[in-house]
Amino acid sequence: MPIILIIMGALLIFFNYKAIKKDENTFSNVLKYKKRDITDFEVKLGGIRKDMAESLTELQQEILELKTNRIDRNPLQEEDNLNLKIDNKIESIVDVKEEDVINNISKKGKSEQIKELLDMGFTENEICEKLSIGKGEVLLVKGLFKK
């Protein structure tokens, strides 16, 4: 009797081992197929997601900086700074070429670039083309600076 049980157990182990080897739905096989089937579209989509995450992180950091700067500012200094900024904007509008504006702005952060171009009267679509960014990002920054 024990010999029959040992033989049956050995046969079950043997047949199950063969079934596992033939099974194509194991994790390692599925992973191999997915690696082979990845398309250029999925790679580009991953890159876009990464860029969006980085942009959002930058915006969050700049928002925090703006909040801390508002707390630390003196109202009289703000008025003087505002007058200086207005004078500088008026001077910069006169005889300024578009290329010079883009070159000067490209040294700053994205949100600062967008704000400066908005202040100069560029439309959202023009800003998107000049800075090679999405319209949603421009609208987000525009909304942040309105508040």
| Alpha-carbon gap, residue 7 to 12, rounded angstroms | 9
pTM of the model: 0.30
**For the chain, percent of residues with pLDDT exceeding 90:** 8
Whether residue 123 contacts residue 114, with contact meaning beta carbons closer than 8 Å, is answered with no
Q: Is the predicted pLDDT of residue 8 greater than 60, yes or no? A: yes
What is the number of other CB atoms lying within 10 angstroms of the CB of residue 74? 9
Local confidence band at 7 (pLDDT 50, 70, 90 cut-offs): very high
Average pLDDT over residues 50-71: 85
Residue 74: the pLDDT is 54
What pLDDT does 11 receive? Answer: 93
CA distance 62 to 72: 15
Please say whether the beta carbons of 115 and 63 come within 8 A. no
- Dihedral sign for Cα atoms in the order 48, 54, 58, 61: positive
pLDDT tens for 76-134 read 555 666 666 666 666 555 445 555 555 555 546 788 888 888 888 888 888 888 888 88
